[in-house]
Amino acid sequence: MPVQSELEKRNIIRLSNKETNRITRECLQTALLELLKSKRMEDISVTELVRKAGVSRTAYYSNYNSFSEILAEFIRENLAFLNDEVWKAINNEEDLFYPIIKKMEEKKDLLILMMKANLENTAFLQMREAININYPTIDNETYYILIAAIGMIRNVILEWVMNECRESVEEISSICNKVTSSIRSQVITNIKAARG
């Protein structure tokens, strides 16, 4: 029996252009993620991707300019929860990191794919963008302290994921709290003041 493409699995019957476009994008994302389980991104061809997705080359080029763009969109859509958790956690002074790290443990497979595709920086840049959008009036010092804290936490979490999450969420959360304890109250105070 022939292997079904992502499009065939969805059993698509006459949809609107908008819906067809959305499904095409999802099929390309899913196919690329599947291919990344066994190959490096640079070893995957457009032909292989569109065959796996069950879409035409034209459909690929109508939606994306590169594989990195596919993954960036996937990350943006699937890590939106993370931005929400970060902003909730900023106001939780008792345990800033536990809810964030718990969510990251749940999305471990996505994080591994991101690392495999060298896209962890995309997520970091999205966090940077979220700071600029959510806190446009914070002072430069607070901005750079926040960027430094996010970078430290990013590195701790990436190392934890690369080590197959051997330590508990509580242990990693405690480490992150210790790493940022000296700057946390200053940043939280400045962010709250900037929000007015």
- Phi and psi for 73 in degrees, rounded to 5? -65, -45
Between CA 63 and CA 27 the distance in angstroms is: 11
Measured CA distances, 174 to 65, 82, 108, 148 (Å)? 41, 19, 19, 18
Asked if residue 114 and residue 27 are part of one domain, the reply reads no
CATH of the domain at 19: 1.10.10.60
Residues with Cβ < 8 Å from 139, sequence gap 6 or more? Answer: 190, 194
Q: Are residues 89 and 167 in the same domain?
A: yes
Q: Please indicate, yes or no, whether residues 30 and 118 belong to a single structural domain of this protein.
A: no
The pLDDT mean for the chain works out to 80
Task: Please tell me which residue, 114 or 39, carries the higher pLDDT value.
Answer: 39
Is 184 a domain residue? yes
Do 103 and 163 lie in one domain? The reply is yes
Do 59 and 83 belong together in one domain?
A: no
Q: Give domain status of residue 1, yes or no.
A: no
Query: Per-residue pLDDT averaged across 5-25, rounded?
Result: 69
The pLDDT, as a whole number, for residue 170 is 93
Residue 71 within a domain: no
* Chain center to CA of 81: 9
Considering only residues 191 and 55, tell me which one the structure prediction assigns the higher pLDDT: 55
Paired tokens of 80? 């939106």
> In the chain, how many domains are there?
2
Alpha carbons 84 and 37: distance in angstroms, whole number: 28
Q: Do residue 133 and residue 95 come from a single domain?
A: yes
Task: Answer yes or no: is pLDDT of 157 > 90.
Answer: no
State pLDDT tens for residues 69-104. Answer: 898 788 777 766 666 666 666 556 556 788 778 878
- Quick check: 4 pLDDT over 80? no
Residue 115 is predicted with a pLDDT of: 74
One-letter amino acid identity for 115? M
The C-alpha atoms of residue 147 and residue 17 are separated, in whole angstroms, by 40
Residue 142, pLDDT score? 85
Q: Is residue 73 part of a domain?
A: no
Q: What is the pTM of this model?
A: 0.61
Task: Report d(CA 72, CA 123) in Å as an integer.
Answer: 8
Same-domain status, 83 and 134: yes
Q: pLDDT tens across 52-69, in order?
A: 999 999 999 999 999 988
| Euclidean distance between CA atoms 181 and 149, whole angstroms | 10
**In a shared domain, residues 41 and 97:** no
Higher pLDDT, 86 or 112: 112
pLDDT for 58 equals 94
Q: Specify whether 61 is located in the same domain as 154.
A: no
By residue range, what is the domain housing residue 31? Answer: 6-66
